[in-house]
Each structure stands twice: as C-alpha cells, then as structure tokens.
Amino acid sequence: MAKNTYELIKARIGNNGYRKLMAIDNPAMRKFVAEYVELCNPDRVFVATDSSEDIQYIRESAIRNGEERRLAIKGHTVHFDGYYDQARDKEHTKFLVSRGIDLGPNLNAIDKEKGEEEIRDILKDIMKGHELYVRFFCLGPVQSEFSVPCVQLTDSAYVAHSEDLLYRQGYEEFKRQGRSAQFFKFVHSAGELNERKVSKNIDKRRIYIDCEDAIVYSVNTQYGGNTIGLKKLAMRLAIYRAEKEGWLTEHMLIVGIHGPNNRTTFFSGAFPSLCGKTSTAMIPEESIIGDDIAYIKKRGNKAYAVNVESGIFGIIQGINPKDDPIIWKALHSPNEIIFSNVLVTEDKSVYWIGKDDEMPERGINHSGEWIAGKKDAEGNEITPSHKNARFTIALKNLENVNPRLHDPNGVELSGIIYGGRDSDTWVPVQEAFGWTHGIITKGASLESETTAATLGKEGVRKFNPMSNLDFLSVPVGSYISMNLKFGSSMERPPRVFGVNYFLKDKEGNFINEKTDKRVWLKWMELRVHNEVGAIKTPTGYIPRYDDIKKLFKQVLNKDYSKEDYTKQFTIRIPENLAKIDRIRKIYETTVTDTPPVLFEILEEEKKRLIEARTKYGDYVSPERWEGRRA
C-alpha cells in the first residue's frame, strides 16, 4: 500500500483509529477502508475493535444521534425506519456482473461497469455531516474453517448496533487471519436524513452486490434487510464462493432434537416465510443453534453445519405467550433488544399486531404520532405496528439456545427438512428415498401458498427451491447441481425429509394441530437412528401408525386415532401428479441450466404414482401400503 494511502488514513481517522487499523496485517482491507473514507467523506471516523468500550460507544451513538430511543425495560431500544422503507427492495437489489456472464432470468443483474459508476456517484460525499463506523465481524464461529471475516463501513449506528447483536465480533479474527483473510466487504450509508432521522432520498435507494469482488453497496435506506449487510446480502456472496469451493450456503435453521438417553440429533431446515420455520427452530423442549442461515461443509464422510449468525432479526407480528413462550419471555426480560417499527406507548412499552394485549389508542410508530384509524397519504389505514416489524436479539438470551452455538467444528447434520405451506398435496412428514430424490422432490420442488392476510389472494403457489430463490447469486440450475453434488459424494449423507404443517380436508379445515410438529420432529430423530420403521409409498417413506400413536402420547399426552392417521397420511395422487407437472414446467421454461437428473427423478415419481392410481384409485390410505414396510 502506497505511503500516501497510509497518510490519508491517519489524517482522516486519527491516531487511535489508525493504530487499530494498522494492527490488522491486511493491506487489501486498509486500502478498502481508505478508498471509501475518501469517497464518502464523513466528518468523523470511528474504528471499533472487539472491546466492550468500543461496542458501548456504538450503542450510545445510536441513542445520541436519534436512530434509537430507550424503552422502559433496561437494555431495550426502539428504531423506526422511514414509512416507505420497510422491506427488502427487490427492484433495486441487483448483481453487478461482468460482460458475458448470464445469471439467468430469475436474478436481477446490471452491467458491472455501469453499476459501479452509478453507485460511486451516489456515494460521493454522501457521509458529509455523518460519522462513519468501521466494524469487523465474523460470519460463522471464530477460529474455524467456517470463519469468514467481514468489514462493514456504515454511517448508521443502528446498523452497527444491530450487527453487534446478530454477529460474532471479528476484529481479533481478522488479526488472526491477517493477509490470508478472504474477507467480505460492505459499504452502507443511510444518506441524507429527515427530521425523524430516517433516510430521505429513497428514490435513490440502491443495493448492489458484486460477487466477483466480494463487496456489497447499500445506500439511502435503513431497513435491516437492505442494510445489515452480513445477513441476506452476505448470503449472496457466500453462495457464490460456496459454488466454487464445494460447500453449501443455505437459508436454513439448525435445531437439536433431543432423543432417548440424552441424545441430541441435529437437523437443518428450509421453510419459506410463514411456513413454520421460526416455530420449528424454537420448540421449547428442543434446542436452537440458528433460525435463518447455515454454512454446511463436508468433513470426512459427514456433513457439518454452523449458524452464520449469533442472533435473531425476527418478525414480531403474532408473537404471543402461548405459541412463542421462549421468545415472549426474552422480549419481556431486561436484556439487549432493538425493536423496530412497533408501536411505542406513553409509558415507553411496546405493542405489536397479535401481541395478545389490548390495542392502545395512541402512541408513536413508523408513521410518527399515531392514533387508531390514522390513514396514510394514499388513504390506507395505518396499523399500530408494521406487518414487517422486527426484533433484534442475541441468541444467548434465549433459554433454549444449544451450548454448541459457537462450536468451531460445527454440528453433525443427520437430517435436512424442507417445508412449505401446502393445503392439499404433501403429507405431514415424509422421508425421501435418498439424497438425490430428496433434493429434487422435496427441496428443488418446494412451493408455498400465499395467504389472504399477506397478499390479498389466497392459495397461489409460489415456487421457491430450498426457500432460497430470493437470495441466489448463481443460476437456479447451478444451485440445484451444487446441492446434488454435495450429498452424492458422501456414503451416508443427511437424510432428507419433507414436512407440511398446513394440510386441509375437503372442507378447507386444517387436519393438523400446531403442536403436531413436535411429534413429526421426534419421529425424524428416531428415523435417522433406524429406531423406527416406515412405510414405502410412491413419494417417500411415511410413519407407521403404531410409532406415531406412541409418540403422540409421549410428547403431547394425546390419544392419536387411526382415523386422524388415515386422514393425514393418505397419498393424494391427483394433487401429487399436478405438482410434478407444475414443477417440471417451471424447470423447462424458466431455468436454463436444469440438471437432466431432475427430470428423470420427477418422471420416475410420476410413473410410481400412476401405477398406484391404477391399482388403488386416486386417494390411497396408508393401510394400503402396509406390506411395503421399510
């Protein structure tokens, strides 16, 4: 690095910041910091280490500059995003790609040279009048083969504070890796702020991702999904890297299911939004490693996973003491939490939609002063909290956190679960015949039905392979191939399961209770250890009645009738055939690089279903398959 660059850094960040930065022997990182300090031109620069003093400075800055406000319970604060800055901006989230690279029709891309020119024009002097925070974090546990050092530049103390709760500190990890660090880079600016301290120029909101140079730009926005770079934005960088290095970056929870004799068996699981992902990760009698993103690598002949994060940036709508007792307790305890876009009442307590309390008549929310019935400029009634209101909390504050959360070796994965919102096709729980069959028929075929409450039209099926479509940085077909290759090279890869918590009868009534998932998880735990049998159907292995009946009594203290079992585990052949046709058409028409084996596996399943229909009819009860035990 040139001498004048060192001098520039020292002049802009002062002796203390310069000393902290120079303690990391990584010229590429120093050059990155220098370049964007010069471009963004902040008034002040604060370089943070892992020290409690530096972290506390960030927290106090968020209060001091008005991005957060203290609440009644010690450690709790609230942040408000702008009224029209409440969700991921898919339209303006784009990949910067070099000429000749085609990511396919499912990914939003822009020419790299053009995108860089645009973003640098926006960033020019954007931090004038602001303080820039230079932060160091680590994706995955530190001192691990999973460790990915990251450097975050942001002029938002709220963003920096959020990342303190969500990620492991990475300054010392950066020092440890030094020049060998393959680090991710993030540049964020909230831009010009209005009197409410929220981003003003959202017409110039941009989120650009450059996977080739491992950098993410985010400007003129404060909403966490657009600005907390280490979350879904870093996920794109990691998927790109994982494809080249032979591992997986997945939109998955990691949960420890407790079996006989104090055994803990670890599963990962992918569920689209509103399909039971958080409730699966947070079942009280089990233990959570993570609720959102997993890195999965092979070691020897086994798969190991880590939670990329160490906290939760969770949707708060609907959280109540009955369905979410652990989160509820944490949200009402004196620990560090950032609430965003909830309603704050006069006594500095918070209210959100579905809280199980009486709705207040007035308060302060993302629209400013709020009273019941208030409408926005378009005439829409403003809810007390935003439907996408969030809470940010460290996992250590949950009583069911697994002690291996920070294990640098990761946890061995015994199973992978895929689940969507499906009213009429999948049975509640089913095991695939093997890795390839599972990845294709459970993961790559994942769909989720929309709900009237969220999108205004119920029952529309959205294709979402591995619940990861929105976050891919490689073409869909390449991503499917990555998954197939990962497991097929192992003698005993994790078993693959499909679950469905939303099956309905012909009258439209759910035929599963919310708590039934606790039984399905226990069955899967026993299944991976070969301690229960199964029945072979055309679409996979289903539980035997006697096993499930026993588990319902053990887990829920409920009697489980043969009638309920028959309703839940009848194979619905017309619906399964229709699904195969839908999925096949998608891969034929919108995915350009689909691996041929996908069509082969779907065709084999279709043949099995047609043969079964010829023999048994359209709807086949589990008793018909009793002779096909596995």
Catalytic residues: 275
**Cα 365 from Cα 353, distance rounded (Å):** 12
Strands 350-351 vs 343-344: parallel, antiparallel or unpaired: antiparallel
The whole-angstrom distance between residue 255's C-alpha and the CA centroid of its chain comes to: 14
* Residue 258 burial (C-beta neighbours within 10 Å; 0-12, 13-18, 19+): middle
Q: Give, rounded to a whole angstrom, the gap between the first and last alpha carbons of the chain.
A: 64
Q: At what angle do helices 3-22 and 27-40 cross, to 10 degrees?
A: 110
Instruction: Please state, as a whole number, how many other Cβ atoms lie within 10 Å of the Cβ of residue 123.
Output: 19
Q: Do 597 and 436 contact (CB within 8 A), yes or no?
A: yes
> HSE on the CB side for 222, CA within 13 Å?
28
Q: Which two tokens stand for residue 560?
A: 């489980």
Find residue 391's DSSP bridge partners: 314, 339
Distance CA(121)–CA(515), nearest Å, equals: 53
Q: Residue 105, SS3?
A: coil
What single letter denotes the amino acid at residue 215?
A: I
Report the candidate in 61, 63, 27 with the shortest Cα–Cα distance to residue 44.
61
Instruction: Tell the burial category of 567 from Cβ atoms under 10 Å away from its Cβ (0-12, 13-18, 19+).
Output: middle
What are the CA-CA distances from residue 118 to residues 93, 112, 124, 475, 523 (Å)? 13, 10, 10, 25, 53
Nearest-angstrom CA–CA distance, 247 and 593: 20
Rounded Cα distance between 277 and 470, Å, is 16
Q: Backbone dihedral region of 323: left (phi > 0), alpha (psi from -120 to 50 degrees) or beta? A: alpha
